[in-house]
Copies of this chain bind each other. A is one copy, B any other.
Amino acid sequence: MNLAPVIKTSFKQQMLKAREVAIIATVNRLLAEKGFEAMTVDEVAAQVGIAKASLYKHFSSKEELAAAAMVGVMRRAQSYIRALPPNAKPLDNLRAVVRWTLEVKLAGDMPSLPSQNSTLRATLIANKDYMDGLMDVSDRLGAWIEAAQASGDLNPDLPAIAILYIFFARACDPVLEFLRMGGLYTDEQIVSMVLGTCFEGLNAR
């Protein structure tokens, strides 16, 4: 039996897959650094080390490129959340998720989307992987939020959805960069401060 053809095909596919991973990683970093509007497709191609036309064989538009990066980070969030202990205190798991978000952002791995870009929003909303991930994350966090409110850990007067949004907003909190720019604090200190004020507020206790 001659297995060469199938092996060759598989190898080729692996290479293609690896290239796509490299592309998405580059897009992810550029989205984190400068955002969707400022990121150019030329730049992505140059940093990946391939021709721009080749990019368009993998992804049909700049929006699809960004969406792929967003799906990636959503998947990572899902993995992280699923790996958390199901029997832990809901509040502890929520704090862990927020901490994870802040750490990813501080590491420069959190792609940032423009607040209002209709074409990109449309692409994301049409992306089943992204929307499924978003729903899954929202449902899991939502359940913990309600449990934490019921057990008297989180403020029960706030709508759960508001708390959820406040968590999501940590993914684009500029305070992290502001503090890092000052150069006075370690990343761990910065994360601790922002995490602490998120849950405990600014007031003295």
Contact = CB atoms under 8 A, between A and B. Distances in A.
A32 to B, nearest CB: 10
Given A37-B35, A38-B117, A169 B158 contact: no
Copies in the complex: 2
Interface string A185-203: 1000000010011111111
A162 B174 contact: no
Contact of A159 (B38, B172, B184, B201): B184
A156 B202 CA distance: 9
Interface string A143-172: 000000100111110110111011011001
Size class of the A contact interface (CB-based, 8 Å): 35 or more
A179 B199 contact: no
B175 A116 contact: no
Contact of A203 (B172, B174, B185, B200): B200
